[in-house]
Structure formats: C-alpha cells, structure tokens
C-alpha cells in the first residue's frame, strides 16, 4: 500500500510535468473553428510592458509568452506591478490556472482572438500552498489569451463578454 507521502509526490510530479509541458495545465483544442489571436505577439518580448485597450479602457499590461513565464505567472509576487498580466498562449486551448505562490486575489479574463469570451472574478489567493490541494481555474471554452487583473478590476472597468482587446492606444 502506498504511503500518503508517495501519493503526494506522485501528484506533484504529475502536475509539474503538465505545467512544464505547456501553460499552467492548459489543454489544446482540436476544434476546427480555431480562432487564432488576431494580435501578433511575435515582436513582443517576454515580460514586456505594452499598452492595450480592452473595451473602453486603456491599460498597461505585462505580456508573458515563454513556457517558463507562463508557468511562473504572478507566483511569488506581492502585487501585479502593472495594470495586469497578459498570457499569450502557445495555441488555442482550454486554459487552466492555479495560484501557486500567490498572496493576493485575482480576476481572470478569458480572451479568444481579440474578444472577451468569459471572466472569473475574485479568485482568492490560496490559504494553503500545498500543491496537491491547490484549486484550478479554467476557461469554459478554448482561448488564446488570458488577462489577470487585481481582484475587483473587472467590475471597476465594467468589462463584458464581447469586449475587444487591441494593442496600443486608441484616441
């Protein structure tokens, strides 16, 4: 019979392998109606701050687009440090995030192409950082981008499903 410690180790290895293989436990989709991001991230460096417009709001966000940065996300920080963090996923997929190493709550904005398709508000920072017991937060449909904001910002900015995201500022 396996000990509790071996079972925890097994789950830790399983979760870690999934994280390092992609973005925070993300699952690619084989949907034929794949909508690639209409935003070109090829010239944007990992961890670069860029201006974006989402709905009628102008924000400065930190873009993460490498495997290591996608896995790390905001873990280990005590604040976002910009208006938000924009995860550029390697492919259209169901995105699953956990909040390992997080000390503050977040809002998640799920974006497919350049359009908001869903939101999750006020995801709490985990009180227990035990890797086996961390909750995950998932998009309900495949997405190409995920925007993490300080908790309460979705409501304050009055973001809505259907709002569009563009790089740069609009006058």
> For the segment 137-162, what is each residue's pLDDT rounded down to a tens digit?
999 999 999 999 999 999 999 999 99
How far is residue 104's CA from residue 99's CA, in Å, rounded to a whole number? 9
Q: Rounded to the nearest 5°, which phi and psi values hold at 111?
A: -130, 130
- The verdict on residue 34 lying in a domain is no
- The verdict on residue 31 lying in a domain is no
Q: What is the pLDDT of residue 26?
A: 42
How far is residue 146's CA from residue 149's CA, in Å, rounded to a whole number? 10
- The verdict on residue 67 lying in a domain is yes
What integer best gives the mean pLDDT of the chain? 80
- The verdict on residue 65 lying in a domain is yes
- The CATH number of the domain holding residue 63 is 2.60.120.1140
Instruction: Supply angle C-alpha 14, 17, 21, rounded to 5.
Output: 145
Rounded to 10 degrees, the C-alpha dihedral 126/129/133/138 comes to: 50
**Contact 100/152 with Cβ under 8 angstroms?**
no
- The verdict on residue 32 lying in a domain is no
Beta bridge partners of 49: 62
When divided into structural domains, the chain yields a total of: 1
- The verdict on residue 33 lying in a domain is no
Residue span of the structural domain in which 98 resides: 4-26+39-167
- The verdict on residue 94 lying in a domain is yes
pLDDT tens digit sequence for 33-76? 444 455 677 778 888 999 999 999 999 999 998 888 787 777 77
- The verdict on residue 100 lying in a domain is yes
Q: What is the pLDDT of residue 151?
A: 97
Alpha carbons within 13 angstroms on the beta-carbon side of residue 158 total 3
- Of residues 156 and 24, the one with the higher pLDDT is 156
């Amino acid at each position: 019979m396996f000990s509790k410690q071996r079972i925890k180790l097994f789950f830790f290895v399983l979760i870690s392998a999934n994280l390092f293989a992609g973005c925070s436990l993300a699952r690619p989709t084989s949907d034929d109606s794949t909508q690639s991001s209409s935003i070109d991230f090829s010239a944007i460096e990992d961890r670069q701050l860029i201006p974006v417009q989402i709905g009628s709001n102008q924000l400065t966000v930190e873009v993460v687009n490498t495997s290591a940065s996608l896995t790390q996300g905001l873990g280990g920080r005590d604040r976002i440090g910009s208006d938000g963090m924009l995860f550029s996923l390697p492919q259209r997929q169901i995105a699953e995030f956990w909040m390992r190493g997080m000390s503050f709550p977040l809002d998640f904005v799920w974006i497919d192409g350049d359009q908001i398709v869903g939101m999750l508000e006020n995801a709490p920072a985990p009180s227990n950082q035990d890797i086996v017991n961390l909750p995950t937060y998932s998009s309900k449909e495949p997405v190409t981008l995920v925007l993490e904001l300080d908790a309460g910002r979705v409501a304050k900015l009055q973001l809505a499903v259907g709002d569009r995201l563009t790089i740069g500022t609009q006058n």
